[in-house]
Amino acid sequence: MGPDMDLSMSSTFKTVIIAFSILAGAMSLPLPGGAAGPAVQNKDEKANMEKANLHGDGIHDDAAAIQALLDSGISCVALPAPAKNYAIGRSLRLRSGQTLRLEPTTVIRLLPGSSCAMLVNDPAETNAHDIRLAGGIWDMDNANQGANPFHPEYASDTKYPYRKYGGEGYSTERFEKRYHLDTFLGCAIQFYGIRRLEIRDVTVRNPVTYGIQVGGLAYFTIENIRFDYEGPRPHRINMDGVHLDGPCKFGVVRNLQGTTYDDLLALNADDMASGPIESVAVDGIFANDCLRAVRLLSAESRVSDITIANVFGTFYSNPFEFSQYYATPKRGDFGRIVIRNVFVSCGSHPEKPAWEGRPLFVMNDKIDIEYLAIDNFHRDEALRAVPCFRIGKSVHIRALALSNISLRNRTGNPITFLDHEGVIDRLVANNLDVTEPKPASGAGTVGAFITDGSCPGLKF
pLDDT tens column, 88-111: 999 999 999 999 999 999 999 999
Let me know if residue 22 belongs to a domain: no
Let me know if residue 247 belongs to a domain: yes
Confidence band of 9 (pLDDT split at 50, 70, 90): very low
Confidence band of 42 (pLDDT split at 50, 70, 90): low
- Mean pLDDT confidence for 294-315: 98
CATH of the domain at 69: 2.160.20.10
What is the CB-side half-sphere exposure of residue 409 using CA atoms within 13 A?
A: 17
Confidence band of 45 (pLDDT split at 50, 70, 90): low
Let me know if residue 182 belongs to a domain: yes
pLDDT at 287: 98
Let me know if residue 41 belongs to a domain: no
Give the pairing type, strands 36-38 and 28-30: antiparallel
Full residue range of the structural domain in which residue 85 is found: 62-161+178-451
Let me know if residue 47 belongs to a domain: no
Let me know if residue 71 belongs to a domain: yes
Which 3 state secondary structure label does DSSP give 163? coil
pLDDT at 350: 87
Distance in angstroms (rounded) separating the CA atoms of residues 156 and 132:
36
Q: Which residues contact 346 (CB under 8 A, 6 or more apart)?
A: 314, 315, 316, 357, 360, 381, 383, 384, 386
The count of domains in the chain is: 1
Give the other-Cβ count within 10 Å of 196's Cβ: 18
Let me know if residue 52 belongs to a domain: no
Give the pairing type, strands 76-78 and 99-101: parallel
Distance in angstroms (rounded) separating the CA atoms of residues 460 and 458:
7
Q: Which residues contact 356 (CB under 8 A, 6 or more apart)?
A: 384, 386
Let me know if residue 117 belongs to a domain: yes
For the chain, give the mean pLDDT: 89
pLDDT tens digit sequence for 110-154? 999 999 999 999 999 999 999 999 999 999 999 999 988 888 888
